[in-house]
Amino acid sequence: MDKENAVPATPHAGIKRPSLFLGPGFAPKRLLRTYRSDKPSPPIPFAPTTSFSETLDMALLDHMDALSLDPQLKERIAGMHRQAAVEKRPSRRMRSILSLGQPMQKEPKHLLLPQLVEHLRRPVRQIPVDVARQLRVALATESPAWIQSFIDTGGYRALLSCLDDLVGMEWREEQHDDTLLHEILRCLCAMSSSPKGLACIQASAPAPMEQLAVLLFSDRMPAELDTRRLIIQLFTMMIPISMKPEVLDQRTTHHIPVTDVPCASDALASGVPTGTVLVLLLLHTARTAAYESKVDFLQRPNEYRPLRKYVSLLQQVCGEFFWIFCHKENRILDWHTIDVKSVIGPKVPSGITGGVEWDATMYLASHLRLLCAVLSTLQTSCPHAAHLFLQELEQSGLNRTLEAICMASQVYYTFLHAELAHLCAIREEIRGKQHAPTPVAHPPSSARQRTSSQRSTVSLVRHVSIERVSIPIPLSAAKPDVRSHAE
């Protein structure tokens, strides 16, 4: 073979050649050429056996001492190598196509019951939100024995302590504090779905309901409508609970005597469940100090309405989401012709669900559901108290708010119109024949009650049609011929 094509000898055989820049990209061009030869060519002594980047990193660290570099520069190069080695490690879980290019989030560690309670006893700023989420899932899915163990360990008391700290905060952080408050409220809702959890909430009444009522009517109310909706759900859960009347005197933050609320005092005397009376008191607000400082002739034109603050919660949402209420031709639906199961049941997610408009309508529907539960309970046990409560609501501007709610879309927000129709039906029952009935409209076809299923209707038609064809008409039953008698 020609000498030009032979592998050249290593120059300066007595000196060790530094292998800092190795690999195909830095090898001489003559070594990268291939030639035909009868003899097998000897292997290149410094050819890389692994990838070029790994060989470069290993060679760099091996010959770091042979280079005349600054010690700080050497340490910096070694640190860069360590960081690159950590980034090259494959992740344990396969990334989905949608998560490519995004950093993998560390999965929260599954905690046991004592660990959950220990986390809840920490200061509020140090409680991770993932711990509250794990607790909420456990309260909703675990057995009643687990919930009883959680209560016996002191978990419910720690949960109420965290809630008190969050409610008493002057400034709550949106990313942590508001999210933690939302998860704690979901934990309370999950506990109310269990008999043992509901009994524990009943034993601790009036806490935390009065603290939540004060928060709802203050300037520090939660910004998210979904969080406010959870508070209204807890109020609705308290309505059928029967407790001792002494619970009403144990309130510490909501200072309104029972005697100052006529509907509550009448309901308590008539044997209405104490939970309903407690909710009635929580919906009323006390007179402000500015109103009490006015003289009598200034208080008369501005008569105090104890439910005006509550009705303003609904009016505020109607004003903030004004573009929802634009169907002026709508009328209140007929409650007796609405299929409640299909309207109020869970919906398949679509383009209209999950937005801010959906949260607003769900929040309004929870308020209407609360009013329906209170009025129906009062109407059953004490009609006079129901009439007084309805009169206070109307004097506070509820009718104007209901007219605005009625202008929402009946196609997308059928559940809201169903709750509105239920409230109007209860109102007509309380009023009796003293007032003219409210004009109603038929609900959409998707919300109407079905007298029979589609299958039974088709089978009934088939049966009738078959009988008409198959049953022969006897000759004796035929009409006699007039001509034969004439002959």
pLDDT tens digits, residue range 404-452? 999 999 989 999 999 999 999 999 999 885 665 666 676 666 666 655 4
For 440, the 3-state DSSP assignment is strand
Looking at residue 477, what is its pLDDT?
Answer: 45
* Average pLDDT value for the chain: 77
Cα 401 from chain centre: 25
In a domain, 99, yes or no: no
- Which is more confidently placed, 466 or 365? 365
Do 277 and 242 share a structural domain?
no
Given the DSSP bridges, would you call strands 440-441 and 332-333 parallel, antiparallel or unpaired?
A: parallel
User: Looking at residue 345, what is its pLDDT?
Assistant: 72
pLDDT at 23 over 90: no
The verdict on 68 and 117 lying in the same domain is: no
Token pair 């929870």: residue = 366
Pair 363, 437 in one domain:
yes
Same domain, 354 and 444: yes
Helix extents (H) in 193-247: 195-203, 209-216, 225-238
Across 326-399, the runs of DSSP E, i.e. the strands, are 332-333
Neighbouring residues of 16: CB distance < 8 A, sequence distance ≥ 6: none
Verify that 287 and 398 share a domain, yes or no. Answer: yes
Q: What range does the domain containing 195 cover?
A: 113-215+224-256
- Residue 473 within any structural domain of the chain: no
155 and 56 together in one domain? no
pLDDT in tens, 293-317: 666 655 555 677 889 999 999 999 9
Whether 227 contacts 180, CB under 8 Å? no
Give the pLDDT of residue 392: 94
Q: What distance in Å separates the CA atoms of residue 17 and residue 19, rounded to the nearest whole number?
A: 6
Residues 431 and 455 in one domain: yes
Rounded distance, CA 271 to CA 13, Å?
A: 108
Structurally, how many domains does the chain consist of? 3
Which two tokens mark 328? 């002026």
Check whether residue 237 and residue 318 sit in a common domain. Answer: no
Tell which residue, 330, 328, 329, 322, has the closest CA to residue 356. 322
Q: Would residue 276 count as lying in a domain?
A: yes
**Average pLDDT score over residue span 64-73:** 68
Residue corresponding to tokens 């034993």? 203
What pLDDT digit, counting tens, does each position of 259-274 carry?
A: 889 999 999 999 999 9
- Mean pLDDT within 152-181: 92
Residue 105 included in any domain: no
pLDDT at 484 (0 to 100): 46
Task: Indicate the helix (H) or strand (E) that contains 277.
Answer: helix 274-283
Amino acid 355: pLDDT:
86
Average pLDDT over residues 159-166: 95
Task: Tell me, yes or no, whether 231 and 300 share the same domain.
Answer: no
* C-alpha–C-alpha distance, residues 98 and 443, integer Å: 42
pLDDT band at 280 (very low <50, low <70, confident <90, very high): very high
For range 147-158, the mean pLDDT: 95
The verdict on residue 234 lying in a domain is yes
Residues 211 and 349 in one domain: no
121 and 251 in a common domain: yes
Report CA 458 to chain centroid distance, whole Å: 41
Q: Mark whether 65 and 204 lie in a shared domain.
A: no
The CATH number assigned to the domain holding 163 equals: 1.25.10.10
Boundary residue ending a domain (84, 105, 130): 84
Asked if residue 98 belongs to a domain, the reply is: no
